[in-house]
Amino acid sequence: MNNHITFHPSDEVIVSICRQDTNICKLINKIGPLTLKTNGNHFEALVMSIIGQQLSAKAASTIRQRVKMLCGEITPERVLDTPIENFRSTGVSRTKIEYIFDLCNKVHSNEISFTNFHLLENEIVINLLTSVKGIGRWTAEMFLIFSLGRLNVLSLGDAGLQRATKWLYQLEDRPKNNYMEEVSMNWHPYYSIVSLYLWKSIDLGFVDNFPTIEDVN
């Protein structure tokens, strides 16, 4: 089941973030309310994440739609019953098919059981998911945010978040583009909410078109 969580500047959690970090507060006030949309079909969410790896948004969307049309409901059983060549005809690479089938097999063997995921700590979920071929830490972190709706996830490996952080805080160039570690201590325990606003600052063109947050009109 999908769920939507909308954050308003007047919400208690947003007020708390603003008390802790004036830069993020400026960004929140520029953007306004923001909604976190979660995909409650955990298996489908992971399959779609695997399909989208290293593809443009447009290409990923096209292939995902083809896979949905091919399988109907995205379940381990439907996937395993679908011939590999049929998957290939949708544009999914053989490597990604191998990853998806590895996920199916781990779900079937109960190595991964989504039933209790909501009870597990973030790092335990990450460790379970990264045992699947083709699922790295970043994919697992996105699953925590956009499937489980966890509000306390910080993805230090996300290039977009690093870039938006550098812009918002006007930080000097650094080796390995490591901009979040220094400032993110003020975001706890709402890392995911701050991340949504930082991603939105890129989507809205703030980062690319304005020198500073004060210049955004």
pLDDT of residue 163: 95
- The H-assigned helical ranges of 12-134 are 12-20, 22-31, 42-52, 57-71, 76-80, 84-89, 94-108, 122-129
Q: At 202, which amino acid appears?
A: I
pLDDT of residue 174: 82
pLDDT of residue 11: 94
Task: Judge contact between 192 and 150, C-beta under 8 A.
Answer: yes
pLDDT at residue 177 is higher than 80: no
pLDDT of residue 143: 95
Q: What's this model's pTM, rounded to 2 decimal places? A: 0.92
Question: Nearest to residue 42, comparing CAs of 50, 34, 30?
Answer: 50
The whole-chain average pLDDT of the chain stands at: 93
In sequence order, what E strands does 136-187 have? none
pLDDT-above-90 percentage for the chain:
83
Task: Judge contact between 143 and 155, C-beta under 8 A.
Answer: no
* pLDDT average, residue stretch 111-119: 92
Name 35's bridge partners. Answer: 6
pLDDT at residue 1 is higher than 70: no
pLDDT, one tens digit per residue, over 21-55 is 999 999 999 999 999 999 889 999 999 999 998 88
- In degrees, to the nearest 5, what angle opens at C-alpha 130 toward C-alphas 145 and 51? 70
SS3 at position 18: helix
pLDDT at residue 147 is higher than 90: yes
pLDDT of residue 182: 82
Give residue 57's pLDDT band: very low, low, confident or very high (50, 70, 90): confident
